[in-house]
Amino acid sequence: MTKGDETRGAILDEALALASRVGFTGLTIGQLAEQTGMSKSGLFAHFRSKEQLQLQTLAHARHRFIDTTVRPTLATPRGEKRLRELFERWLAWETETLPGGCIFVTGSIEFDDQPGAMHDALVADQRDWLDTIATVAETAVTEGDLRPDADPRQVAFEIQALILGFHHATRLLDDERALDHARNAFEAILDHARAH
């Protein structure tokens, strides 16, 4: 790995932390340069445009997310256990990885009404993520942990909503019951999709 790639990685680490707090638009090149101890132009040369910086920061987050959350989950036993693992790993990702919480939540709201490359990248990421949840939910169906007629996409929708609700309750409202509420809600989703 060349020197350039190394500092580029360090920049993206910092960019990720900063963007999770102030968003991808609030992520400014001047501040990022100051925070990394570089000059504006030296830092800028790595990306050649702000949009590229944003896109690469998002890609950086995607790689980290897949490595720490998605891939390990897919290595656990199929079925309800895997669905639980996915949810618990997302909770860890939300609370332990970045100072501002899940950066996909931030980005999704920021770009939901603004066209461009960032919007498209976020849509692709979130569709992939929903597909992942739905696929894992489907294994729970085929393993017999959930009802045969349970709709994996409905389950995915509800879990995604729960994720957003947890982010909201912890980040904005600082609600100390958020974790309990979230786990209760998760059990309720499972109960409802389970054979009774």
Per CB under 8 A, residues contacting a second copy are 20-23, 25-26, 99-101, 105-106, 108-114, 119, 122-123, 126-127, 130, 153-154, 157-158, 160-162, 164-169, 171-173, 177-178, 181-182, 184-185, 188-189, 191-192
Q: Which single residue is written with the structure tokens 């919480």?
A: 101
Instruction: Compute φ and ψ for 155, nearest 5 degrees.
Output: -60, -45
Residues 4-23: x/- map of binding to DNA (CB under 7 A)?
A: xx-xx---------------
Nearest distance in Å: CB 90, a second copy: 14
CA neighbor of 130 nearest in space, from 153, 112, 109: 153
Alpha carbon distance 78, 60 (integer Å): 28
User: Residues with Cβ < 8 Å from 78, sequence gap 6 or more?
Assistant: 139, 140, 142, 143
Residues numbered 25 to 64 that lie near DNA (CB under 7 A) are 27-31, 37-46, 48-51
Nearest distance in Å: CB 48, DNA: 6
Helices of type H across 45-148: 50-65, 71-74, 80-96, 103-110, 117-142
Nearest distance in Å: CB 109, DNA: 19
Q: Which residues bind DNA (CB under 7 A)?
A: 2-5, 7-8, 27-31, 37-46, 48-51
